Amino acid sequence: MNKKFYLGSHVSMNAKNDYLIGSAKETISNNANTLMFFTGAPQNMIRKSVEELNVSEFQKILQENDIDIKKVICHGPYIMNLANTIKQETFQFSVRFLKEELQRLELIGVHTVIIHPGSAVGLDRTAALENIAKGINLVYEELPNSPVKIALETMSGKGNEVCINFTEIKFVLDRIKRKEMLGVCFDTCHMHDSGYDIKNNFEEVMDEFNKLIGLEKLFAIHLNDSKNPINSHKDRHQNIGYGYIGFKALANIVHDIRFKEIPIILETPWINEKVSPYKAEIEMLEKNEFKDNFNI
């Protein structure tokens, strides 16, 4: 696929659709050239062995359709919380599960995983951020040769979430020993909901990111509109062009030459929880022209 950018969506990965084979086929049916998947249900720790996921067929389908596996990403499960050491078993479980996730992805051939940094629970924010760095360092100490990089997702600030601004993310990045292995995933809905004005002042946002962290640390983008006004700390994704960020600002990100090598992933809601929006949204974004496909 000869495209100016890498644009795809979250796709399913389950037994009904032959695991990763179905993920690849869904991507192709959406006319996408990248994808994101979970290695299992995001709310639990149940995982099939990699041998059952049809990895060879997955890689073959991607290659036959000119989809670069280096641009494919995985999303880590929501149940991990590296920020929390009040319950040591939660922290230890999160470190162990993240380590296992990196091992799974190395076997699949996917070298980027996005994780939610976690929630401070009853800790102060500084201690929570230090825990994230500690946990990631522990993972890479046990896997010193892992090629799989981790991207911390920008969060909206609901509850006790951490990494809701670039300063907090930089705090974690500065404490990582294998610095080349940790980066950032922009989530446009989360950034908007946390207070970044990506609709009207995107260049100011990028200037701040470059000064504090650097564009080379941007590993992925989650492209989502928002159901709520800026600084709402809600985290409710909306379909592209139907929310408070709007089509123009989001399409500008897709077409921004600075992001032409960065996988951009849609996580927008299905229409009436039944119909996938991704093929229509990808076409709309490629043409850089809003079309009222869903009448929301």
Q: All domains of the chain, ordered by start, with CATH? A: 7-287 (3.20.20.150)
Q: How far apart are CA 70 and CA 66, in angstroms?
A: 11
Q: What is the pLDDT of residue 22?
A: 98
User: Would you tell me how many other CB atoms lie within 10 Å of the CB of residue 213?
Assistant: 18
Q: Can you give the pTM of this predicted structure?
A: 0.97
* Model confidence pLDDT, tens digit, residues 155-193: 999 999 999 999 999 999 999 999 999 999 999 999 999
Does the pLDDT at position 276 exceed 60? Answer: yes
Q: Where does the pLDDT of residue 2 fall: very low under 50, low under 70, confident under 90, or very high at 90 and above?
A: low
Q: Where does the pLDDT of residue 78 fall: very low under 50, low under 70, confident under 90, or very high at 90 and above?
A: very high
Q: How far apart are CA 67 and CA 30, in angstroms?
A: 13
* Model confidence pLDDT, tens digit, residues 10-27: 999 999 999 999 999 999
Q: What is the pLDDT of residue 11?
A: 98
Q: How far apart are CA 204 and CA 95, in angstroms?
A: 35
Structure tokens given for 42? 């995001």
Q: How far apart are CA 109 and CA 18, in angstroms?
A: 18
Q: What is the pLDDT of residue 105?
A: 98
The percentage of the chain sitting over the pLDDT mark of 90, rounded to a whole number, equals 94
The percentage of the chain sitting over the pLDDT mark of 70, rounded to a whole number, equals 99
Q: How far apart are CA 159 and CA 242, in angstroms?
A: 25
What is residue 177's DSSP assignment? S
Question: SS3 for 77?
Answer: coil
CB 133 within 8 A of CB 162: no
Q: Report in angstroms the alpha-carbon separations of 94 from 3, 26, 29, 113, 136.
A: 37, 30, 34, 14, 10
Does the pLDDT at position 1 exceed 50? Answer: no
* Model confidence pLDDT, tens digit, residues 194-207: 999 999 999 999 99
Q: What angle do CA 99, 71, 47 make, to 5 degrees?
A: 35
**Max CA-CA distance within the chain?**
51
